[in-house]
Structure 1
Amino acid sequence: MRLTIPTLLTLFRIVLIPVLALVFYWKSPWSNIVATAVFVLGALTDWLDGWVARRYDMYSAFGAFLDPVADKLAVTVALFIVVQAHPTAWMALLSAVIVGREITISALREWMAQMGAHGLVKVAGLGKIKTIVQMVAISCLIFHEPLLGLPIFKIGEWLLAVAAALTLWSGADYLRAAWPTMSKG
C-alpha cells in the first residue's frame, strides 16, 4: 500500500469525522462555528486530494477505494447529527434520500466492477454539482444560526432539497447507464 499525499488527506478527512461529532455536541457558544469549520475543512480536503492526485499523478488503488468511503462517511455522519438536532420528517426524508442513494450507487459500482463494466458508473459532472450543493447545504445546517440577516438554516434546508433532487437525478443516470449490463441474465 502506497501512502500518497492525496491518501493522507483522505485519512485526515476520516479523522475529522469523530471530531465533527464531538465538536457539534460540545456545549459552547462556538460549537456551531467550530463544527462548521471542521466540516468545511473536510470538504476542502476532499477537493484538494483529488486536485493533487490529478495534478501530480499521485493515484493509488488504496486512495481510489478510500476517497469515496471517506465522502460517504462524512456526509452520512453529518446528516445524522443534523437530523438528530432538527428531527423533522422533512429533514429525515431528505437525508434518507441522500444516504440511500449513496449506498445504492456504491453497491452498483461494486457490482458493475465485478461484471467488468465499472467504466459505466464513473462519477459524472452532475454528481460533482450534487456534491458541492450538498456540502454547502450541510455546512449551513450545521452552522444553523442567522448570519448577516440571512436565514442560514432555511437556506441549508432548501439547498439540501436541491441536493436530494440532484441525488435522485444522478442516481437515475447511473442506473440508466448500468441498465444494459444489469438486464443481461
Structure 2
Amino acid sequence: MSNTTDTKLMNLPNILTLARIGAVPVVVVLLMFESKTTSFWAAFIFSLAAITDWLDGYLARKWEIVTVLGKFLDPLADKLIVMAALIMLIPLDRVPAWAVFLILGREMLVTGLRSIASAEGIVIAASNLGKYKTIFQMVAIIGLLLHYRYYWFFGLEVDLFHASFHNAGIFFFYISLIMTLWSGFDYLAKFFKLFAR
C-alpha cells in the first residue's frame, strides 16, 4: 500500500472515528468499577465520543474526503459505543435487559438488510427517524451513565445538579426505544417494497 493511500485513509475524520472505537473499552472498564466518580467519567468520555460522531461526518463532507474505510468504521463505532454502554448498564440495574435486547436485535436486522440490499446494488436511503433515534439514544445513555444526584461541581460542594440524572436518562431511553423500533419497521418496509419491484 502506498503512502498516498495511507494518508488518504488516515485522515482526521477516520482518526476521530477510531478514537470513538478506542473509547469503548475505557467506558466498559470504568463501569466495571462502578461508583459515582467512575460513572461521571464514563458519561464524560461517552459525551466526547458522541460529539466525534457528529464531527467526523461533518468534516468528511466538508473536506470531501469520504472513504470506504470511513463508511465502514463510522456506523461500526456508533454501534460499538452504544451497545457497550447499554450492555454494561444492565447488571447495574439502570436499563431493562429486554429493552437492550430489542435494540440489539433491531441493529442486527437493519445491518443484515443493508448487506443484502448492497449485494443486489440497491441503496435504501436512511430516514430522519434513524437520526432522531441516535440523538435520543445518546442523550439517554449520558443520563443513565451519570445516574446519580451530584452535589459538586469542579470540587465545589454546590447543590447544582440536584435532579436525578437516572430519571431523565430513562425517560429519553424509552423515547429512543420507540424510535428505534419504529425506524426498524420503517427500514424493513422500505426493504420489502424495493425488493417487491
Structure 1 Cα separation of the partners of residues 121 and 27 of structure 2:
37
Q: Does 1:128 align with 2:141?
A: no
1:71 to 2:78 alignment:
yes
TM-score when scaled to structure 2?
0.85
Counterpart AA for 1:12 = A
* Amino acid aligned to 1:173: D
- Partners of 2:185 and 2:62 lie apart in 1 by 31
Which of 102, 106, 114 lines up with 2:107 in the alignment? 102
TM-score (norm 1): 0.91
Measure the CA separation in 1 of the matches of 2:68 and 2:60.
Answer: 12
Paired amino acid for 2:18: L
| Larger Rg over CA atoms | 2
**Count of residue correspondences:** 180
CA distance in 2, matches of 1:53, 1:68: 14
- Matched residue, 2:30: 23
1:117 match: 122
The structure that is helix-richer by fraction is 1
CA, structure 1 residues 110+63, in 2 after alignment: closer, same or farther (shift >3 Å)? same
1:166 pairs with 2:187: no
The amino acid of 2:168's aligned partner reads I
CA RMSD across the alignment: 1.6
Aligned to 1:36: 43
* SS of the residue 1:145 aligns to: coil
SS in 1 for 2:91: helix
What residue is the counterpart of 2:157 in the other structure? none
**Pair 1:141 & 2:144 matched:** yes
Equivalent residue in structure 1 for 2:90, among 64, 71, 83: 83
8 Å Cα contact 2:103-2:177 kept in structure 1: yes
Structure 2 residues not aligned, in runs of 5+: 151-160
Letter in 2 for 1:114: A
Amino acid across the alignment from 2:167: K
Question: CA 1:144/1:93 → structure 2, altered by over 3 Å: closer, same or farther?
Answer: same
* Partners of 2:108 and 2:86 in 1: CA distance: 14
Percent identity reads 35
Whether the 8 Å contact between 1:5 and 1:58 is mirrored in structure 2 is no
Q: Are 2:163 and 1:156 equivalent residues in the alignment?
A: no
Instruction: Give the whole-Å Cα distance in 2 for the aligned partners of 1:124 and 1:36.
Output: 28
Residue matched to 1:48: 55
Give the corresponding residue for 1:179: 192
Distance of 2:73 and 2:144 partners within structure 1: 26
> Quick one: distance in 1 between partners of 2:14 and 2:139?
23
Per-residue Cα deviation, 1:41-76 (whole angstroms, up to 9, x for no partner) = 111111110110111111000100111011111111
Alignment partners' CA distance in 2, 1:151 and 1:51 = 33
- Please state how far the C-alpha of 1:23 moved relative to its aligned partner: 1.6
